[in-house]
Structure 1
């Protein structure tokens, strides 16, 4: 058994209990720890530590610091009502806005979390995403194909599920016009996505021009929503 000298100060610092939620922090008396190693030679008092022993000691102390405090982080996460404790839910659509041949949309990223912010919030987010995609043209032709593709898919995914939310809660006479607009937009975005993947500049510019027209039409549906201030929790 080899005793490690001058370890009390380090272990005393690690053993301090943090003051959480108004509780009183208590300092416990640190005890000397002995590390057993059959292959290690006996270390005498005040003898310099070998390099191997120093490395093992550093790894051991790091493990104590990480795993000793992991219970605190876990308890705080479980008490926070905003944390998701399970896997991300996969959103679905109920409106007739899927691609008729594939049953989905090629640009949809199912790994994304689409927060339910209500119908009014979905209208707001639709306009914001349309506005953002209207600025995407500045990157076309600037050798940023990968970024254009990722950005297009992310924004289009939000618009896909937000359109479904808006259509499902719309009045009966508004459902079909909104469905037609959504399908024209998403058909065009799929064509634009295909052109971007091929890195065909002339084809991408041509299809992006058609996308701009549809994005402007989306924004004209709710022209005042972008200037409206409201809280997410009050959306209905």
Structure 2
């Protein structure tokens, strides 16, 4: 009996170590204040964002070597054919377009350049496909959740913690934290229409009850295995 008790206690200890949320870093940490609603900020590109260029000559010919998608590097630069590095940090699409037209006028007469920006955002937690996404400036928090496969449910495969808690989705932005309620009938229309900006981090927590159910199931499974091992050891001895 003492051996069984020791085995059960050891198994319980193992289960507690592997419970979702028990590991360091499972719950996001953010240095800075919080609480206020995140304001819509009209700001330019940051490292990791994507700049999409469509370059045409005055004759309407597409210049493929310049056109295309390019990531802003860690220094806030783009490397482009003929003109080399272009510093675009914190510049808007219109500012980048004007800069490139001026630089390329030395090579092409009256070039026509279209510039689109895609912001890098991150979503983690109880969604089906967490990760980094490149999104257009009009993309909202709801859009990012959809891109990540939607909120997790109790039957979602591979979603940590089971069902998502749509009432307290966290938006981390520039050191501030906003808690957003996306439940049907409870969401603020202004929040629903608020676009994300570069560097936004969205964390979707799991429902406490859902997480508890999964934890109980995990503990039960570990204890069952431990009891079987102890029983086998007792029979052998």
User: TM-score interval w.r.t. the shorter chain?
Assistant: under 0.3
Considering Cα pairs closer than 8 Å and 6+ residues apart, tell me whether 1 or 2 has the greater RCO: 2
Q: Relative to total residues, which structure has the larger helix share, 1 or 2? A: 1
* Larger Rg over CA atoms: 1
